[in-house]
Structure 1
Amino acid sequence: MADLIDRALAGGRFFAESVDLVPWCLALIALAHSDRVDAARAEIDRARVGRRGPASPAEYAFFCISSGSASWRAGDVRLTEREGLAGLEALSGEDSDVVTMSLSASCTHMAVLASLERGDLATASGLLHRFDDRWPEPPAVLSLVRMQRARVAEALARDEPTETLRLARSLADADLRSGAENPATSWRAFAVLALLRLGEHEQAAELAQTHLARAREWGAPSDVGGALRLRARTDPDRRAALLDEAVAVLEFAPDRLQRAWTLADLGEFYRVTRRRSEAREVLRRAAELGHACGSGVLQARVVDALAALGDRPRSMMFTGLESLTASERRVADLAGAGRSNRDIAQDLFVSPKTVENHLGRVYVKLGICGRRELAHVLA
């Protein structure tokens, strides 16, 4: 599959000759889901360099969706959120037509998943409400399936397993109608977690086994590792072996976040089975990786696990660049590259005053005085 996509993209020629960015964007998402994240990012960079003139808001959103999808597959929570919010900001002034709705659905999906991973349920719920307020009765298009996945994830974060299961099954119906299912975004993973919370362990185990079989058929290591981790949640007798296999599979996979969560699960298993020294080592690896990914939820869990072992974990609060919001970091990156406030405003579809306000907050958070120091901090 990935080789076919590579040939279809043709080293940037597909983008250069295309008048419709939809197939280009879908090809990049499929490439990322095949664990070819570096190839997807290289194609996005080629397209950005080869772009003729300034991008329209819709074109800019396509870039955000492509880049955000690759970033999520790589386990980069911060960049995923930045791209999702940037796309939504660019589209906010556009007509509420089907194209704008479809692109907004994909951007909302990314921003919601990233917000939940940071532990910010309020922001995730707010993004869903904002979409619903703008499109209270959206037409049935394929991109709404991504919105449905965001809703399932948000329901699970609200600890509403019955609603999660209902939404997951509606996703299954959508997959059946489309005739395709991608293990990277499968409804089964949500359904398994909901069933476990509802005490339906036998049904959860059966569904997790099916999910693992489908992931092995697909073959992408990130999906196989994630499915092994999920299966371990439903099989206490084989939990250690399944988690060990998952860690081995994910070692060279691009999805660092999935690897971090698997290490956290393994460390927790070692802790409850009184293998304290092994637990500390694995949990610290999970903490470092989770911190690099930007997962506040994972970091909080690991801190609690280490505290239960009597450790005093180093502070994991975000500082420096990590303290910047998604919007502030986008502005900082462009300013550090030498772009003027007016240029940044044009690129991000915001006002120059908004850029000025963001930069002011960036300077305060980083303890610097201006652009020259900013470039040094970003280097």
Structure 2
Amino acid sequence: MRTRSPRAGWRALDVGDLRGAISDFDQAGQIREDVGLGTEDARPVIAGIVGFAVIAHAEAGAFERAEALLADAGLDGELPEQMVFNPLLHARASAHLLARRVDKAVADFRELGRRHARWGLRRPSPPWRSSLAVALVARGERAEARELARAELELARVWATARSIARAERALALAANDPDETIAGLTSAEQRLADGPWRLDRARVRCELGAALRRVGERRAARELLARALDEAHACGAEVLATQATEELRASGARPRRRALSGHDALTPSERRVAELAGRGRTNREIAQELFVTMATVETHLSRTYRKLGVPGRAELAAALAERDGEPEPAT
């Protein structure tokens, strides 16, 4: 089995491979032993690792796990005013937004903006302006959202990367009052992301563009985009987005294809995470402690995994998972 590291997790998250990112962060998350989690000196070191792990789990719909990671690292409250905590603050706010805790998301995004202003930072990374804009749209505060998105779009054009521009275009489109502006902005963002490696960003924009087209009666075009978004969301392991795309497809009159009922693609991120730990020899109790879940949850995930993979029990898990990953079965 390949050696995993935070760097591998960051790369996987960047291209929308949430299953890979979660697996990498969990294995690299010998964080406690490696850097002495719990000591004040270690907090800046683990902030980046925890932040990216939090957003991966939140995108996968594992909100309790994301919260537990923050709490266990002592990063769920007020954070020191150091630049190293900026990505964590953005990730924490993004996780709140995915969980529909909009007020908490707005508070964290605003705090990140205050810190950027204090330090005179003029860059679209982390993209706090567009992220705050999307959160404000959820509260119906579109005027401020448009101002923030326009400001980030100007910065992104100087930054000159397709992804940063697309994120700002997406936020500005969602904040628009005119449906035609929304569709035009999301179309531009989708085209910028079309040939890049950012699968999750692309799937999200396609889902939102499909929803916008549905609302103006363009049902056929909407269904095509939404179906592609749903497929990409499933491929990424993005359960929150997959649910959104499924709901939009049903609203368009379509009947979304059922997810795979067996095989590796049928595993949820939580099931795969439990299975990988079990395949590496961890006991149910050890898995429950590491993932901050109950023993009953572990047992449920394992029983479902055995059925989906068609294996009789724990001893066959490592080989079954390695078969999908293209890795040799570990020697015993």
The one-letter code matched in structure 2 to 1:252 is D
Matches of 1:139 and 1:200 in 2, distance apart? 29
* Aligned-pair identity (%): 27
- How far apart are 1:376 and its partner, in Å? 3.6
Alpha carbons 2:35, 2:45 under 8 Å: kept: no
Matches of 1:116 and 1:148 in 2, distance apart? 14
The one-letter code matched in structure 1 to 2:57 is S
* Matches for 1:275-314 after TM superposition, within 5 Å: 275-314=218-257
* Matches for 1:222-233 after TM superposition, within 5 Å: 222-233=163-174
- How far apart are 1:156 and its partner, in Å? 2.3
Q: Which residue of structure 1 aligns with residue 60 of structure 2?
A: 118
Structure 1 unaligned regions, length at least 5: 1-44, 49-59, 343-349, 351-356
Q: Determine if the alignment matches structure 1 residue 171 to structure 2 residue 107.
A: no
Matches of 2:137 and 2:146 in 1, distance apart? 9
Deviations 1:43-83 (A, max 9, x none): xx9xx8xxxxxxxxxxx8xx31x222222221112222222
Alpha carbons 1:98, 1:139 under 8 Å: kept: no
Q: Which residue of structure 1 aligns with residue 294 of structure 2?
A: none
- How far apart are 1:328 and its partner, in Å? 4.3
> Among residues 43, 67, 70, which one is paired with 2:8 in the alignment?
67
> Among residues 204, 210, 213, which one is paired with 2:145 in the alignment?
204
- CA RMSD after TM alignment: 3.2
Distance change >3 Å, CA 148–CA 267, structure 1 → 2: same
- How far apart are 1:85 and its partner, in Å? 2.5
Higher helix share: 1
Q: Which residue of structure 2 aligns with residue 80 of structure 1?
A: 21
* Matches for 1:152-171 after TM superposition, within 5 Å: 152-171=93-112
Distance change >3 Å, CA 125–CA 312, structure 1 → 2: same
Q: Determine if the alignment matches structure 1 residue 261 to structure 2 residue 261.
A: no
The one-letter code matched in structure 1 to 2:233 is G
Q: State the SS of the aligned residue for 1:183.
A: coil
The one-letter code matched in structure 2 to 1:126 is A
> Among residues 127, 133, 141, which one is paired with 1:186 in the alignment?
127
Matches of 2:212 and 2:174 in 1, distance apart? 11
The one-letter code matched in structure 1 to 2:205 is T
Matches of 1:86 and 1:372 in 2, distance apart? 18
Matches of 1:141 and 1:259 in 2, distance apart? 32
* Matches for 1:1-379 after TM superposition, within 5 Å: 63-64=5-6, 66-92=7-33, 94-95=35-36, 96-132=38-74, 140-235=81-176, 236=178, 237-316=180-259, 319-322=262-265, 323=267, 325=270, 327-328=273-274, 365-368=308-311, 370=316, 375-379=322-326
Alpha carbons 1:81, 1:110 under 8 Å: kept: no
Q: State the SS of the aligned residue for 2:30.
A: helix
Distance change >3 Å, CA 162–CA 309, structure 1 → 2: closer
Distance change >3 Å, CA 372–CA 120, structure 1 → 2: closer
